[in-house]
Amino acid sequence: MSSNGDALIHLEDLKKVFYTEEVETHALAGIHMTIDRGEYVAISGPSGCGKSTLLSILGLLDSPSGGEYKLNGQPVQSLGVAERARIRNREIGFIFQSFNLIGDLTVFENVELPLTYRGVRASERKERANQALERVGMGHRGRHLPSQLSGGQQQRVAVARALVGEPSILLADEPTGNLDSKNGEAVMELLDDLHQAGSTICMVTHDPRFTRHAERGVHLFDGQIVDEQPEGESAGAA
């Protein structure tokens, strides 16, 4: 929204073009967007509109073809692979549709893993991983394997893993996509609680029920922002 000192993410004329043989696909065609600290933004739109491409660029999993991306005031669009990985580990927490938990690690070990990559000492890793699991109501399941959990429980563990590094922003890609409606609502309520506690959240979803949890909705179509509005009450009344 604003481009003041509260801006955590600022995109200026962001573009992404994919080339396959003689076909040129403009996945993102000039995106201008700002996400402020503490904000909760939902990105929606039909399949193929560029939602996941945009989230991949925000998460430094991909690079734009043009334009500017500032994270915490620093341009990051042209960074190399190693530097992107370093910033991603420290600044960004991911919540994926398919949970992406490692099957042969326990719940605790899955949550601890980002801190292991960061070189955090074992005692601090243990304390922070346990705290993250308690925040999502999974402290009692630390020794279980992902296969011993329901889908809703696995997604809660994935949220804990995203939180453990105290990231600047949580990026959620269809976080309810593999869950039934009851578990989906439970995960959305968890994200609401995290936002109320101060987390900045950017979520991609195709489900209009879940966009209403956000403060602001951004609608993409053919790689462009075609609508942007406050969510919550106004969307509920629409």
Cα–Cα–Cα angle for 88, 108, 98, rounded to 5 degrees: 60
What tokens were used for 236?
């509920």
Give me the pLDDT at residue 230, please. Answer: 80
Give me the pLDDT at residue 237, please. Answer: 36
Q: Which domains does the chain have, with CATH numbers?
A: 7-237 (3.40.50.300)
Q: Which of 6, 8, 158, 151 has the alpha carbon at shortest distance from 93? A: 158
Dump pLDDT digits (tens) for 58-116.
999 999 999 999 999 999 998 999 999 999 999 999 999 999 999 999 999 999 999 99
Three-state SS at 132: helix
Helix (H) or strand (E) holding 88: helix 81-91
User: Between these two residues, 236 and 140, which has the higher pLDDT value?
Assistant: 140
Dump pLDDT digits (tens) for 155-177.
999 999 999 999 999 999 999 99
Query: pTM above 0.85?
Result: yes
Instruction: Round to whole Å and give the CA distance between 172 and 169.
Output: 10
Residues 111 and 155 sit within 8 Å (Cβ to Cβ): no
Give me the pLDDT at residue 232, please. Answer: 58
Give me the pLDDT at residue 5, please. Answer: 61
Dump pLDDT digits (tens) for 11-48.
999 999 998 888 899 999 999 999 999 999 999 999 88
Give me the pLDDT at residue 236, please. Answer: 38
- Phi then psi for residue 27, to 5 deg, are -70, -40
Residues 66 and 4 sit within 8 Å (Cβ to Cβ): no
What contacts 20, CB < 8 A, 6 or more positions away? none
**Helix and strand totals (H; E) in the chain:** 8, 10
pLDDT above 90 coverage of the chain, percent: 84
Dump pLDDT digits (tens) for 138-150.
999 999 999 999 9
Dump pLDDT digits (tens) for 115-136.
999 999 999 999 999 999 999 9
Query: Any bridge partners for residue 75, and if so which?
Result: 70
CA distances from 210 to 179, 185, 204, 205, 238 (A): 13, 8, 10, 7, 14
Instruction: Round to whole Å and give the CA distance between 221 and 166.
Output: 32
- Phi then psi for residue 198, to 5 deg, are 115, 0
- β-strand 74-75 against 66-71: which pairing, if any? antiparallel
- β-strand 66-71 against 216-221: which pairing, if any? unpaired
